[in-house]
């Protein structure tokens, strides 16, 4: 009978285990030919969890028990107006799909907070939405998504939560972090007028102007192309939210090698937008083009030299300077240059007849003639305009004991570092060039 066969199998199994001899080759015990139904078979991996249907979910129910029955996660969301955080909230132990929770609960909560935080009669519009899906497991990387409005594609978010659902069985936690960025849509005041400690009024004005110009450009670009503007992508990606940053800048490039921050100004932002518009890939700070990195490093170096020279000159009176303007009937004078070929010192005189602004224009035309590429020529025309707009002239540049002051001054107004260095440092070379044609000018 079957019962007898089972007993005999157990008996043979026990007798071989108690024997001092190995079993005869080829004569295996009966249980090898007919495995016992009580033997442990390999376990199949558990299936991924799913979301609870919205119709079955009640707010306040607890779903964090072990083992979990559904995907349980937390939503941490915040509202930002003009890149300033104005409110946040946390929704724990959610088990319904994020798309359903957004449509039925979160969208309304966002609108309520927005109405509370904005000023009376202030018009705002959604600028972007940033989403990050994470799990407290170092072996797993985050999923990050960026959208130019609140029109969110929840499919990749929900797919990532399903992928990580098995980690809930070993006590891991899933989190969805959302940042809703809104922008003031009128000419009113900033909803958060407070500034950082020690921040100068000029910087706030420049930033406000920069944002206003950007918003107008984005609106025009999106209206003409029907596509999200590259400006939204660049501004969001390069926004500096590091509280320990010493640059007091709203936008920075962080060097992936050493984590150093470099201040991004409007010309840098424009170049990054052009890079994206031309098909360039910009998904992180690693993707910033090399030429922009180089210019940022040069500007930072020029700024350090300026601060160093300024600190060393503190308390030291300027050496005497003599500047003469020859009358129109003055006899021709020769151009005398230093025999060493070095730039003129502060004590040497640059005498230029006629209007000072004309000398600036002639000098910039000469600088432009030394270049062949249009990008170089355009920047020399730009430095001419910046100089004249600020009522500067060549004599003022030469008389200043700290030439790096003007270099940094020009760089901060959008002039490329190389152009600024040429403009400040090539004045005497230009003087040699015009010696024969301008006998009334001398150094």
Whether residues 276 and 321 fall in one domain: no
| Number of structural domains found in the chain | 4
Asked whether residue 353 is assigned to any structural domain, the reply reads yes
Whether residues 74 and 125 fall in one domain: yes
Whether residues 170 and 210 fall in one domain: no
Whether residues 97 and 164 fall in one domain: yes
The pLDDT, as a whole number, for residue 153 is 92
Whether residues 223 and 276 fall in one domain: yes
CATH of the domain at 151: 3.10.20
Q: CA-based angle 165:168:169, to the nearest 5?
A: 110
Asked whether residue 309 is assigned to any structural domain, the reply reads no
Domain C-terminal end among 272, 288, 304: 288
The pLDDT, as a whole number, for residue 73 is 94
Asked whether residue 195 is assigned to any structural domain, the reply reads no
Asked whether residue 300 is assigned to any structural domain, the reply reads no
Rounded distance, CA 30 to CA 27, Å? 9
Low-confidence ranges of the chain (pLDDT < 50): 1-6, 8-16, 30-33, 187-205, 314-348, 443
Helix axis angle, 290-312 to 266-277, nearest 10°: 170
Whether residues 273 and 363 fall in one domain: no
Asked whether residue 352 is assigned to any structural domain, the reply reads yes
Asked whether residue 296 is assigned to any structural domain, the reply reads no
Domain C-terminal end among 135, 155, 184: 184
Asked whether residue 41 is assigned to any structural domain, the reply reads no
The pLDDT, as a whole number, for residue 216 is 61
Whether residues 83 and 118 fall in one domain: yes
CB 425 within 8 A of CB 331: no
Whether residues 273 and 355 fall in one domain: no
Whether residues 68 and 142 fall in one domain: yes
The pLDDT, as a whole number, for residue 395 is 82
Whether residues 153 and 271 fall in one domain: no
Reported as type and span, the H/E element at residue 375 is helix 374-389
Domain C-terminal end among 270, 288, 306: 288
Asked whether residue 298 is assigned to any structural domain, the reply reads no
Which structural domain range is residue 408 located in?
A: 315-443
Q: How does pLDDT run across 39-97, given as a tens digit for each residue?
A: 555 555 567 899 999 888 876 666 666 788 899 999 999 998 888 888 899 999 899 99
CB 86 within 8 A of CB 192: yes
Distance of CA 79 to CAs 181, 216, 219, 243, Å? 6, 23, 22, 18
The pLDDT, as a whole number, for residue 109 is 92
**What residues pair up with 196 in beta bridges, in sequence order?**
none
Whether residues 7 and 76 fall in one domain: no
The pLDDT, as a whole number, for residue 173 is 92
The pLDDT, as a whole number, for residue 21 is 54
Whether residues 337 and 394 fall in one domain: yes
């Amino acid at each position: 009978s079957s019962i007898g066969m089972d007993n005999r199998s157990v008996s043979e199994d026990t007798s071989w285990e108690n024997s001092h001899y190995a079993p005869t080759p080829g004569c295996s015990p009966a249980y090898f030919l007919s495995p016992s139904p009580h033997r442990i078979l390999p376990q199949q991996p558990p299936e991924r969890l799913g979301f609870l249907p919205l119709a079955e979910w009640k707010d306040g129910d607890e779903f964090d028990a072990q083992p979990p029955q559904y995907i349980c996660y937390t939503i941490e969301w915040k509202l930002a107006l003009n890149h300033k955080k104005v409110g946040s909230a946390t929704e724990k132990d959610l088990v319904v799909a994020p798309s359903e929770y957004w449509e039925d609960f979160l969208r309304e909560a966002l609108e309520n907070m927005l109405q509370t935080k904005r000023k009376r009669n202030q018009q705002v519009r959604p600028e972007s939405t940033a989403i990050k899906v994470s799990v407290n497991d170092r072996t797993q990387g985050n999923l990050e998504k960026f959208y130019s409005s609140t029109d969110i594609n929840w499919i990749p978010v929900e797919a990532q939560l399903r992928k990580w659902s098995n980690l809930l069985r070993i006590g891991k936690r899933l989190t969805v972090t959302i940042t809703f960025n809104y922008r003031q849509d009128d000419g009113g005041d900033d909803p958060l007028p407070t500034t950082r400690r020690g921040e100068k009024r000029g910087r706030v004005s420049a930033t406000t102007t920069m944002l206003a110009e950007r918003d107008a450009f984005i609106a025009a670009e999106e209206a003409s192309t029907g596509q999200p503007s590259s400006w939204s992508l660049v501004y969001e990606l390069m926004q500096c939210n590091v509280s320990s940053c010493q640059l007091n800048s709203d936008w920075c490039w962080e060097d992936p090698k050493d984590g150093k921050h470099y201040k991004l100004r409007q010309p840098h932002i424009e170049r990054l937008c052009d890079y994206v518009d031309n098909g360039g890939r910009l998904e992180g700070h690693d993707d910033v083009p090399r030429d922009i990195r180089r210019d940022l490093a040069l500007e930072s170096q020029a700024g350090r030299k300026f601060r160093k020279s300024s600190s060393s000159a503190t308390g030291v009176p300027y050496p005497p300077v003599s500047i003469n303007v020859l009358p129109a009937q003055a006899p021709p004078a020769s151009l005398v240059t230093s025999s060493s070929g070095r730039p003129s010192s502060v004590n040497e005189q640059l005498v230029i007849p006629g209007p000072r602004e004309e000398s600036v224009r002639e000098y910039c035309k000469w600088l432009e003639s030394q270049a062949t590429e249009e990008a170089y020529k355009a920047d020399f025309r730009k430095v001419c305009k910046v100089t004249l707009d600020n009522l500067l002239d060549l004599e003022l540049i030469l008389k200043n004991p700290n030439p790096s002051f003007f270099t940094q001054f020009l760089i901060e107004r959008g002039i490329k570092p190389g152009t600024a260095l040429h403009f400040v440092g090539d004045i005497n070379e230009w003087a040699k060039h015009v010696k024969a044609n301008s006998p009334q000018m001398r150094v």
